[in-house]
Amino acid sequence: MAMKYFRQIMSGINPAPLLAQVAEHPELWGAFKTWTEGKPESVLSKMGMAANNIELSYNKGHPNEWDRPAFHILSEVQSLIFDLMTVVKGRLLGRAIISRMAPGDVIKPHVHEVQFGMPRIFDTFQIPLQVDPGVVFGCGDEELYMEPGTAWTFDNQVFHWVRNGSDRDRISLMVDIRPFIPIRVGP
């Protein structure tokens, strides 16, 4: 079935090594709050979910300061991100986080910020690491269960949301990449 807002990019990814490293380093959860600090309007701020993110890269300020310590501590994430960048012919890594949602949590409908009049330069990709049936990712009028071991892109300029209707934490890797040729999903 063709989807309007989602596109599968990769499959056959083994999330187990990265999940094992994440479990070994619980101190990384919430160590940086760039995506939420000082942004009371942020979806994650409103939900109090800043503690449920591991920041890996953030494209603000000087490029030499984009990488967070977690990017180097979690060496398994480097392979996943670089493999994804190779597949999508990425030329610039933007923001990257590992996000955790408890059972019952909801990320409210939102669109990714793009300054008015500016072109969207990053495509958003998601690699589900620990996602059980019952977790639903919605974009526009579509809903999708993203199976672990796959990679997806979606139209981040259309309202999208996530609901964890499973009995276990949902853990996903979210990466913004600027490809040489943008991958556009949507009508």
Q: Which of 127, 179, 166, 169 minimizes the C-alpha distance to 148?
A: 127
Q: Does residue 47 carry a pLDDT above 50?
A: no
C-alpha span between 161 and 143 (Å, rounded): 9
Instruction: Report the chain's C-alpha Rg in angstroms.
Output: 15
DSSP H stretches of helix in the chain: 16-24, 43-47, 69-73, 75-87
Position with higher pLDDT, 132 vs 57: 132
Confidence of residue 104 (pLDDT cuts 50, 70, 90): very high
Question: Which of the residue ranges 33-37, 46-50, 65-69, 179-183 would you say has the lowest mean pLDDT?
Answer: 46-50
- Its pTM stands at 0.85
> What single DSSP character describes residue 67?
B
Q: Which of 108, 83, 98, 96 minimizes the C-alpha distance to 12?
A: 83
pLDDT digits (tens, 9 = 90+) for 67-95: 788 999 999 999 999 999 999 999 988 88
Across 37-46, 65-74, 80-89, 120-129, the highest mean pLDDT is recorded for 80-89
Given this model, what pLDDT does residue 41 score? 52
Average pLDDT rounded to a whole number, residues 104-127: 80
> What single DSSP character describes residue 134?
T
Question: Which of the residue ranges 53-67, 76-90, 165-179 would you say has the lowest mean pLDDT?
Answer: 53-67
Given this model, what pLDDT does residue 58 score? 78
